[in-house]
Amino acid sequence: MGCVASIGVARLATANVGPEPMSPTVSIVPTETQQRKQTLKHTPSGESEPLKVLQVMILEMGRTGKIELTSTVVREGAGGEPGTLTKQQIPRLQQVPGIILGMVHLRELCLRCNQIQEIPREIGQLEALQVLDISENQLIELPSELTTLSNLRVLEVGENYLKTLPESIGGLVKLESLRANRNKLKEFPDGIRSCRKLKLINLYNNGITTLNEGIAELSELEEVTVSNNVLVSLPSMSNWRKIKRLYLQVNKLQALPPLDDLKELELLQAHQNVLRELPSMTNLLRIAKIDVNNNQIREIPASIQYMPLLTHLNVRKNRVSSIPAFLGVCRNMEILDFGNNPLASPIPSGIGMLTNLKTLLLDGTVVNTLPIDLMALQNVIRVHVGNCIQMDDQETAEVVLELRARCKVNGGWLKSG
């Protein structure tokens, strides 16, 4: 711990031996060659070896336009490439090295997995910066100067302690990707409406209670993640015509806005909410997966039958009392999960026409008979018929035996009870 502290103090000195504190006028910034001479000239002879190595790393990386100073965070079951600092046995950074703030031609800066508590206001001088990753640090706020980086395309600030994002975030007019997951955000700045090129927003695991209309205006969005918050409602999504993936799970949503205009949507995750029904979903010709398990939904909307690419439908733990016959036309269906619903027989015979079906789960229901048509399911791997199945019904017994044999051949299982 003492080693980390000493590096932090030494690095503060390093910031002062480079160019003098800079004004916003870029022309007075020394060249990188001059910076290198100054840094080496003023390096105290007694400085620690890790600090010398760090200085060399920064200067060498700076020539490429990309600086990556990351540490390895050990997580259970996690692998991956060790951080650049870890490889050199350099402790995690406690502040942004001052020499970086003078590299006005820098395009990418990655300081992930350190112990940085503050981003200097001088970050605004890095006018060429396109990618900034300061995730997994100890930041509690971002300086407004950061939002003057008009060339920034990617901003990663996840896994910090941020309570707000700057209202001036709209200054990031070229921003395409924003990840602010795992922070302490309660709201999202309305200024985001000016970030019209945004394609990805990730606000996973914050404390957000509402999304403002600003985010609803972003027509280039392709992926939105607002899962694991405390959202009760959502704004209109009619402008999200390019959206492909929606992650809305683990909130307190009571309803979803109409999704009819989301013609590019491929995935909808809305499980663990309090939805009483599914929204209007006409024209979703590209959607492949719908997961709304653990809600209060009572019926499956007829629009499902007009989703030709749908492969996965999970409505487990809802209040659905019957499987609609029209599901038989969803010929690409691979997974049907109706477990833990007040579902009773009969099962529509049309389910037997789902020749691509691999998983059929009816556990936790009161289904007691199965139609002979289910014997046509040649590709099933996992089947659970529940604990109410009547094996004394000849047709049902034949179906169960055939499906069990088929699952075994396919390397899977059939369960009951």
Q: Does residue 388 lie in a domain region?
A: yes
Which pLDDT belongs to residue 48? 76
- In this prediction, residue 220 carries a pLDDT of 99
Q: Is 158 part of any domain?
A: no
Overall average pLDDT of the 169-189 stretch:
97
Q: Confirm whether 113 is domain-assigned.
A: no
Assigned domain for 397 exists? yes
What is the pLDDT at residue 49?
82
Phi then psi for residue 384, to 5 deg, are -125, 120
d(CA 117, CA 96): 9
**In this structure, what CATH number is given to the domain that contains residue 397?**
3.80.10.10
Percent of the chain whose pLDDT exceeds 90: 84
Mention every residue, 6+ apart, whose C-beta is less than 8 A from residue 399.
370, 371, 372, 374, 375
* Mean predicted confidence (pLDDT) in 386-409: 97
SS3 state of residue 357: coil
In a domain, 407, yes or no: yes
Domain count, the chain: 1
Is the pLDDT at 36 greater than 60, yes or no?
no
Q: Would the pLDDT of 4 be above 50?
A: no
**pLDDT at residue 15 above 60?**
no
Residue 228 within a domain: no
Structural domain of residue 377, as residue ranges?
321-417
Lowest-confidence region among 39-48, 241-250, 387-396? 39-48
pTM of the entire structure? 0.86
Beta bridge partners of 337: 314, 361
- pLDDT at position 50 is 82
350 inside domain: yes
Averaged pLDDT for residues 304-329: 98
393, part of any domain: yes
User: Which 8-state DSSP code applies to residue 286?
Assistant: S
